[in-house]
Structure 1
Amino acid sequence: MTRQLGVRDIRAFRPALVLEVVHRLEIQRRRVMGAADAALRARAAGREWRGRAATSASQAQSGAVALLGDVSARMGVTASVLRGLAARMEACLELVHRAERIARDRGAWTDADGLVQVPHRFPTGDPTMDAHVGRLDALMVNEVGRCLGEAVRVAAETDVEVQRRLRGAVADPVAPAVPDELGVVPPPPEGGVGRPDGAFANAAWWRSLTVSERRRAITQHPDWVGPRDGIPAWDRHQANLILLARLRGPAREALRRAGSIPQRTAIPTWERAKSIEAIDALLAKRDGVTRQLLLIDVSGLVVRAITTVGDIDRAGHVATYVGGFSTRPERDLRDYDDRFVGMRRLALTQTREEGDDGDVAIAIWLGYPAPQGRDGGFSSRSVLRDDTARAWADDLASFTNGIDASRDAPAHQALWAHSYGSVVTGFALQQVMRMDDVALFGSPGTSLGSVAQAGLKPGALNVLAAPTDPVPMTDWHGLDPREIPGVAALGATAALKPGATNVVLRESFLHGDYLDEGTTSEYNLAAIAAGRSDQRLPAQGDRPLAPIPPPAP
């Protein structure tokens, strides 16, 4: 049994030396091939020779040519495997260097064995800011740990594969075919489940693959890529299109059998088929807006899907919308998309006014099975209970962590959480995740007791509640978020649009009106997505909003 590899071994590895061996091996291989060619030419030149001695010499030459060909093939396999080893270990070294950069950006460092050393942080006197700094440190430790852990895992898997292939190149009776590349390393097990730090492991795994290996993973194993947070949005999109195509035929057949008005027992089947139709219709839109499919899962009672309005990979500002009670893709996805196209345009206008030319993207996160009316009031999935919110909060944290993990530079991220979605968000914010701004609107209560508990910087937790919306008055799922000290209570009533003298923003009356075009609540949500805290409009009777401080160092 070989010694287990560690960060020290990766740091000590020199891919350039392996490539030098490959270069010299190729030189020797060409010499062997040259000798085989010379033997073939000599054989051709001696065709006039006849007799027993000539036959014996010809057989000896044939054996020599075959032997030289076999040696050349084995040398080719060895060179190819070593070339793959150098490329893979170069990627592992880059993961180690990336981890070092992430730690260094927080004033921390990693020791020779990859353990993170965090400097002592002196209290600022503001408990909320201290908690925010602590959250950023915890996030850094998680990301560095996953990055280094994945470097070690990939190096160990590569070591095993290289040993196996090199032994085969020597010991197999027939020289094996020359491999184009090493096999694609499977994704990390911890990245496939809903855990906030799994996105960091997925991102590190994806970075360890070559461009060709990524293409193979997408086409041959789309289930490895499509649902995994931490992988760039366009790569997930391509994999999910393959998964969607696999689902389309069975879904159409199920829809044909269910009919336009299905029996109660066929409702989940009908909803799956209609959800796929809704996603197809969304992706087929040709209105100049980029859309990406980041999740499609029809395995549960409620279809889970994540789509975008805008390009998540290149946007400087990313808002994630978390829907509430009874949201389902087949019923709500198109409506959300239509609304968010306009809200993205509004947010872009606000960023341009600030001189910020960064793009804005909105993720429609229907990534959890929201409680439905058919779940009743007593089951664990009831909207009156927080079981579903607790169970899926980690998935939300993983998704938002994955947006930054997949990029070289973090985006400004915002969360828009409506109704029961604010319950999910309250639990998610207590996990190790980073969020710049949060808006809870139409909230039936939250498990949060303070801004510090959410790990947010001061002033980053925003709450909207229309005066005529009865849901925020229930406090069913905990504290009314408007009562949390330090929250920014934003307006949902009629107000004069900032910078205008005769444009009045409308009031939101009902529980589902917060996203309506031309409302004060829509304007406030767009300002949050754009990172324009100065454009937020306070609730009536509330004092002017204090500016949000810059991110913690």
Structure 2
Amino acid sequence: MSGAAPAGAARAASGDFALLRRFDPAALHEAAAGWRRLSAAAEEAHQQHRRRVEGPLRGQWRGADADRAFRTMAGTERELDVVRVEAASAALVLETVAERMDQARTNLSNALRRADEWRLPVAEDGTVGLPPQAPADRHDPDARVQRQRDVLLRAQLQQRVDAALAAAREASDRGARALGRLDADVLTQPRLFGTLRECAADTRQVAADLGLAAPYVPDNRDPARSAAWWRSLTPGQQQDLLALHPELVGRLDGLPATVRDRANRLVLAQRLDALEAGNAKGSGLTYEQWGARQSGLRALAERLDGEGGSGGPDGEQPLLLLALDPDGDGRAVVATGDPDTADHTAVLVPGTGTTLNQVPGQLDRIALLRDSARQAAGPGQRVAVVSWLGYDAPEVDGSVLTTRRAEAGAADLRRFTGGLRVAGGGHRSHLTVIGHSYGTTAVGAAAAGGAGLQADDIVAVASPGMAAEHAADLHLDPAHVWAGTARDDDVSLATGTTLGPDPTLPAFGARTVGIDTSGHSGYWDPGSESLANQGRIIAGRTPNPSSPR
């Protein structure tokens, strides 16, 4: 029988066979590591620019010149984000190609070892042949049977060689196509807005070019599982996810606060860039909605940047963006101080009418709460306070008279506080959850359901009802449930109706807190007993039950 290769078998005249045999993935892995270092350096440069340049200047510089300068600084930060994301994309491409090529080389090596076992020769172009046949063998029945077996084995082996070469070529072609998209034209063709939007589109297309499925990310149902998943990743995998899929990482309860902040700041920059590069038409929003969302995100970004300096004397970052969802009325979770390292942590849940546009005002409140708690806790104690707008707060309409919005956000609040318990590893902070107005209804609904909020103390300020009949229903010793309402706060007119009994009444079973402020929004007035008492509870101390009038 002839020793020629089967019809249709692939040829590697270009030297692909020899190249694949010699392939060493080390060079591609090294190149990928270099791109990853560049991505990390761009992120670090962005953070340093925000903390040491823009942040301090925003607190001091005003006027037309300042506005122009800040626009230029914003452009610089966008370009650094582009470098961060595209460099991470390049690293992903190179790592993917290296792994696929190395697998193809391994498959080829295995095929060649089998060729040696079967005594089948393989030419320099990858063609599998047959062993030489002596003239006498053509008339030997046993030799003819062996020859037929060799022909079948050669066909199998040729398929394996061809498949390995085809896989290597496909990996190379996909990688070349994906890398071709990362040409940095968003940097060489400067424009005010749209660079991050185009960059995000490029990275999505890179994944499509490589044929990559969406990465596995937990479903955010179990903070402990999310925390374990994050710790199981290599630093490179973590960096890639932060740069290429920040929207998936930033939403996960149980991850470190600083990790979520890095992810969500990039999400914020991308969403704001997309809004500022477009217009209401085609966005599905009215002009008023588009403008409100843009102004809300810009105000949040400026506030985060404006407090992006080195922080307080304990070196903590002043603000951490733990969650962001601009859709609808918008949701945002922001911490002042790091909950993962704090000795005392508080979560403030706002009430009726709170939207993304009101978040800057909520940040003022948590800053005052943190200062008050620091004074109560004493030197050396770290305090973090979180503004948790993680639910759809009701408008001033019929929805405020039902527990529907509170019940809808209850599981999210429980998951968030559960995430605080696992994100810090073995560190356990004294945790206080404070609700204001309808926020107390949300806190009560969350605390009464499931396994509760895992809080050490719960505070209801200006509560219209906590969606519970008694403090003992909140999965907490009633001695650590506190309630207080100003005498002239009109919210008292709504208590005992549809949202539950007044938590300041003895029958509810909570302990009352001394309140010396007026109205529905004065509970954080600087120097007030109302603020000081909340600070004492956050610090694990007993508040004053009454205060002078």
Q: TM-score, normalised by structure 1?
A: 0.58
RMSD between superposed Cα atoms in Å = 3.4
Equivalent in the alignment of 1:299: 327
Per-residue deviation, 1:491: 0.7
- Which of the residues 234, 256, 265 maps onto 2:258? 234
Q: TM-score, normalised by structure 2?
A: 0.59
Equivalent in the alignment of 2:355: 328
Q: One-letter code of the match for 1:364?
A: S
Contact 2:21 2:105 in 1 (8 A): no
Alignment pair present for 1:311 and 2:332: no
- Which of the residues 343, 368, 381 maps onto 1:342? 368
Task: Give, in whole Å, the separation in 2 of the partners of 1:450 and 1:214.
Answer: 44
Per-residue deviation, 1:419: 0.3
Alignment: residue pair count: 355
- Which of the residues 379, 385, 405 maps onto 2:402? 385
Equivalent in the alignment of 1:426: 444
- Which of the residues 502, 514, 524 maps onto 1:515? 524
DSSP 3-state at the match of 1:368: coil
- Which of the residues 293, 298, 313 maps onto 1:272? 293
Q: How does 1:463-482 map to 2 (within 5 A)?
A: 463-475=483-495, 476=497, 477-482=499-504
Which one has a bigger Cα radius of gyration?
2
Contact 2:257 2:340 in 1 (8 A): yes
Q: One-letter code of the match for 1:169?
A: T
Per-residue deviation, 1:485: 4.6
Alignment pair present for 1:453 and 2:460: no
For 1:358-401, what per-residue CA distance to the aligned partner results, in whole angstroms no more than 9, with x for missing partners?
3101111111121123xx32xxxx21122111111111111111
Contact 1:413 1:437 in 2 (8 A): yes
Task: Give, in whole Å, the separation in 1 of the partners of 2:291 and 2:164.
Answer: 56
Per-residue deviation, 1:201: 2.2
Task: Give, in whole Å, the separation in 1 of the partners of 2:366 and 2:393.
Answer: 20
Q: How does 1:73-222 map to 2 (within 5 A)?
A: 73=23, 169-170=106-107, 172-174=163-165, 176=168, 186-189=216-219, 191=220, 195=221, 198-222=222-246
Identify unmatched segments of 5+ residues in structure 2.
Answer: 1-11, 30-98, 108-159, 176-211, 312-317
Q: One-letter code of the match for 1:283?
A: L
- Which of the residues 384, 388, 405 maps onto 1:361? 384
Alignment pair present for 1:438 and 2:461: no
Contact 1:318 1:529 in 2 (8 A): yes
Identify unmatched segments of 5+ residues in structure 1.
Answer: 1-61, 81-161, 259-263, 493-506, 542-553
Q: One-letter code of the match for 2:518?
A: F
Per-residue deviation, 1:444: 0.4
Q: How does 1:253-268 map to 2 (within 5 A)?
A: 265-268=286-289
Task: Give, in whole Å, the separation in 1 of the partners of 2:337 and 2:279.
Answer: 31
Task: Give, in whole Å, the separation in 2 of the partners of 1:169 and 1:417.
Answer: 60
DSSP 3-state at the match of 2:354: coil
Contact 1:325 1:370 in 2 (8 A): yes
Contact 2:331 2:392 in 1 (8 A): yes
Per-residue deviation, 1:520: 1.3
Note closer, same or farther for the CA distance 1:320–1:68 as it changes in structure 2 (3 Å cut): same
Note closer, same or farther for the CA distance 1:73–1:184 as it changes in structure 2 (3 Å cut): farther
Equivalent in the alignment of 1:50: none
Contact 2:336 2:385 in 1 (8 A): yes
DSSP 3-state at the match of 2:401: coil
For 1:220-265, what per-residue CA distance to the aligned partner results, in whole angstroms no more than 9, with x for missing partners?
111110111111111111111111111112333567989xxxxx95
Task: Give, in whole Å, the separation in 1 of the partners of 2:409 and 2:368.
Answer: 29
